[in-house]
Amino acid sequence: MMKQFTLKALLGLALLASVACNDNAKKDAEVSEEKEVAERSDASTVYSVDTQKSVINWKGQKPTGTHTGTVQLKSGELTAVDRNIESGSFVMDMNTITVTDLDGDMKANLEAHLKGTDEDKKEDFFDVGQYPTATFELTGVSGENGNLTVSGNLTIKDVTQNIEFPATVSFPGDEIFLKSETFTIDRTNWNINFKSKSAFDNLQDNFINDDIELVIELHGSK
């Protein structure tokens, strides 16, 4: 009996450690005021972002569950000198907000709510009628051996904040591939306050987490 108890206890500790490691893998983006945008030099190589391959993955949570989805890019470019990223920017097409964990009417209804295509709910989230795009402009890169810290001005609904997050970069052939680690942003920093406990009182369990998990994946070619 003692051996069985010890084994169960060890398995339980291993499970808790695994959960803790997964939670630690999610990093809060460093947020600060808007900064000066990095400029490219004459010596830089320009990589045009492939909008078919590149994607922003997102995850939002609330007490009753989790939703996941994607946002496609409208345009973008990265520049590099000797395979060191120098500057870059991309534009997100907010009309492409997609929910990937639902089907049918539930999927369509949540996508419409996020986009704000319902007149009564257009200001709850992204109001794509008034703000059809969001942008990211690179302000700095540090790191080596492909392991980077990327900072840039993220503009959503005409609000700009500088964010900093970890990423990896590689240069396969004539292409560039940049992928962030999973990181979180606090949506209220961009005035997206719908059902936020930090913005409204007495929500009890009827709230949506402020943090949105993001993974940025950029594919580019010369």
pLDDT band at 27 (very low <50, low <70, confident <90, very high): confident
Tens of pLDDT, residues 164-175: 999 999 999 999
Task: Give all domains of the chain, ordered by start, each with its CATH number.
Answer: 27-221 (2.40.128.110)
pLDDT of residue 158: 96
Query: E strands within 82-173?
Result: 84-93, 98-99, 133-144, 147-156, 159-170
The pLDDT, as a whole number, for residue 26 is 59
Q: Do 213 and 165 touch, CB atoms closer than 8 A?
A: no
> Average per-residue pLDDT in the chain?
90
The whole model's pTM is what? 0.87
